[in-house]
Each structure stands twice: as C-alpha cells, then as structure tokens.
C-alpha cells in the first residue's frame, strides 16, 4: 500500500512492542522465558524444588598444625619434669629510688586560681583548619546505595543458604609430588623412656660445698708417749703360736715296703 492510498480504520503500520511467535520459523520467543532448572534465573512464578550441593572445605582442614615426626623432646626432660641440679645466678644491684621533688612555696600562684575557685561562664575559641581537611573525600548523596534484597548478602532480610564447589587443592590430590616426603632414614629414633616406664639412672653430681680435708685426725688424748719404742729400748715380748688346722694333711715320707 502506498502513501497515496487511503487508510481504513485507525490502524497504522508500527513496530511491534515485543516478539511475535508468527514471525519466527523456530519455536519462537518462548526460549526467552526464565528457566525452571537450577538456582540462577529461575522463573519466580513456578515452584522451585530444594537444591543440595557439597559444602565448602574449612580453612583449618588444609593446614597442618602438628610439629611433625622431626619433633624431639630434649634428653633432660622426663615424664616427671626436668632432671638436673639447681642453678642459681646473681642479679645486678637495683637502682636507688629517686626522691620525690616537693615544690617550694614560690611554685604556687594563688592569683591564677580564679576559675577553679569562683564560677566562670563557658569560653569557646576558633581553631585553625587542620592540614588533613583537604584530603578528606566526603561522598555525595548519590554515592549511597541501598543494600540489595536478592542474593546471600542481604542486610535486613533473611537469605537462603547458598553452596558452591571449591577449587581443586594442591595438597592431597593425585597431582601432588610425593617425592618430597622424607625417607625412613630421616626420622630419628625416640628414646623409649619418654613414652614408657623409665629405669633409674645415676650420675655424679657436682660439688656444692667448699673443698677441704675431711679425714678424721687424732686429738691430744689419742697420743701415748709411754708406748713409743722408736727412741728407746723395747723389752722382749712373747705370744702363743698359731693353731694349725686339723684338716691339714700329714707329711708323707718314703716308707720301705
């Protein structure tokens, strides 16, 4: 129809407001509707079934907090405590406390105590502008946005739980390089007395007292000059002989047959 032809009725050719199914050879614009599968972009007019997924792994699950097999207890630590002699040390002499400096009579100014003794009206003053005033970028009214009501980060609304799949870890997966682990010879043998009953042990303890001669020495009454025979003659003395044993074999001599 040309522009010279008369129009019939109030209808005039115009651009359609939305997609028309008759203009498409395919199933049409029905694929533009929100889907019914999944969580994102779900049709709000349809009922949504519950959805479940794997939870995220906690941060503490991937951190090894133990000291490892290389942790060794010192040899002087047992199940009852530390073994050893008591040790003492000398500290330095403490400084003498400083004396309190008492102010003299000339330090007091009673003429300046008017505001502390008598009532005075409040006083105010104007201070200069600080240097940080020019660096303050105060946001305007358009910078403030209301919190969203969709998604997990809602402020004053109840949000449904959301779950996602975390990335693959580098520790504990099949791609981990296991050649970095220590061999059997790397681990040190732990003393069995640390986790079993320990046998008694003895050692030489250091000397804690002043050294000196502690042998028993005779006193003045232990000496007897009358029995000294080194500087004078000694009278003869006799004693009984030694008793022989009855089990001693007799002397055997050659006897003629």
Q: Could you give the maximum distance between any two Cα atoms of the chain, in Å?
A: 187
Domain count, the chain: 1
Alpha helices, DSSP H, located in the chain: 114-117
Given a cut of 70, is residue 81 above it in pLDDT?
A: yes
pTM strictly above 0.85:
no
Q: What share of the chain is helix, strand, coil (3-state, %, to 5)?
A: 15, 0, 80
The terminus-to-terminus CA distance of the chain in angstroms comes to 180
Mean pLDDT of 56-72: 62
Given a cut of 80, is residue 105 above it in pLDDT?
A: yes
**How large a percentage of the chain has pLDDT more than 70?**
77
Q: Is residue 233 part of a domain?
A: no
pLDDT: which is higher, 51 or 60: 51
**How large a percentage of the chain has pLDDT more than 90?**
0
- Let me know if 174 is exposed, middle or buried by CB neighbors in 10 A (0-12, 13-18, 19+): exposed
According to DSSP, residue 152 is labeled S
Mean pLDDT of 165-170: 77
Q: Is residue 28 part of a domain?
A: yes
pLDDT: which is higher, 101 or 252: 101
- The predicted-structure confidence for 16-45, as pLDDT tens digits, reads as follows 777 676 776 666 555 667 778 877 888 888
Q: Is residue 58 part of a domain?
A: no
Number of Cβ within a 10 Å radius of residue 42: 15
Tokens representing 37 are: 């599968």
What pLDDT band is residue 66 in, cutting at 50, 70 and 90?
Answer: low
Q: Where are the beta strands (DSSP E) in 48-194?
A: 77-78, 81-82
Q: Cα(197)–Cα(208) distance, rounded to whole angstroms?
A: 31
Q: Is residue 19 part of a domain?
A: yes
Q: Is residue 115 part of a domain?
A: no
Q: Is residue 27 part of a domain?
A: yes
Q: What is the chain's Cα-based Rg?
A: 54
Q: Cα(31)–Cα(41) distance, rounded to whole angstroms?
A: 13
- The predicted-structure confidence for 203-249, as pLDDT tens digits, reads as follows 887 777 766 777 888 888 888 888 888 888 887 888 777 666 666 76
Kindly report the three-state secondary structure assignment for every residue of 109-124.
CHHHCHHHHCCCCCCC
Q: Is residue 33 part of a domain?
A: yes
Q: Cα(130)–Cα(50) distance, rounded to whole angstroms?
A: 58
Q: Is residue 34 part of a domain?
A: yes
- Host domain of residue 28: 14-43
In this prediction, residue 140 carries a pLDDT of 77
């Amino acid at each position: 129809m040309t522009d010279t032809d008369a129009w019939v009725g109030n209808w005039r050719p115009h651009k359609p407001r939305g997609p028309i199914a008759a203009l498409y050879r395919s199933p049409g614009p029905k694929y533009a509707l929100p889907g019914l599968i999944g969580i994102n972009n779900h049709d709000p007019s349809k009922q949504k079934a519950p959805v479940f997924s794997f939870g995220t792994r906690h941060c503490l699950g991937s951190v090894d907090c133990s000291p490892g097999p290389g942790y060794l207890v010192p040899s002087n630590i047992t199940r009852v405590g530390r073994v050893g002699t008591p040790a003492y040390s000398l500290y330095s002499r403490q400084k003498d406390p400083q004396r309190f400096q008492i102010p003299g009579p000339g330090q007091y100014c009673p003429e300046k105590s008017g505001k502390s003794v008598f009532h005075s009206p409040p006083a105010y003053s104007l201070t200069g502008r600080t240097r940080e005033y020019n660096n303050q970028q105060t946001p305007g009214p358009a910078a403030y946005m209301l919190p969203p009501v969709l998604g997990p980060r809602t402020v004053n609304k109840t949000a449904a739980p959301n779950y996602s799949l975390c990335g693959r870890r580098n520790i504990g997966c099949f791609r981990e390089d296991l050649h970095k682990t220590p061999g059997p010879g790397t681990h040190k043998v732990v003393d069995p007395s640390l986790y079993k009953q320990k046998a008694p042990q003895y050692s030489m303890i250091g000397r804690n007292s002043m050294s000196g001669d502690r042998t028993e020495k005779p006193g003045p009454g232990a000496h007897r000059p009358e029995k000294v025979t080194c500087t004078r003659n000694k009278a003869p003395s006799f004693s009984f002989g030694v008793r022989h044993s009855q089990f001693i074999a007799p002397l055997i001599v050659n006897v003629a047959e």
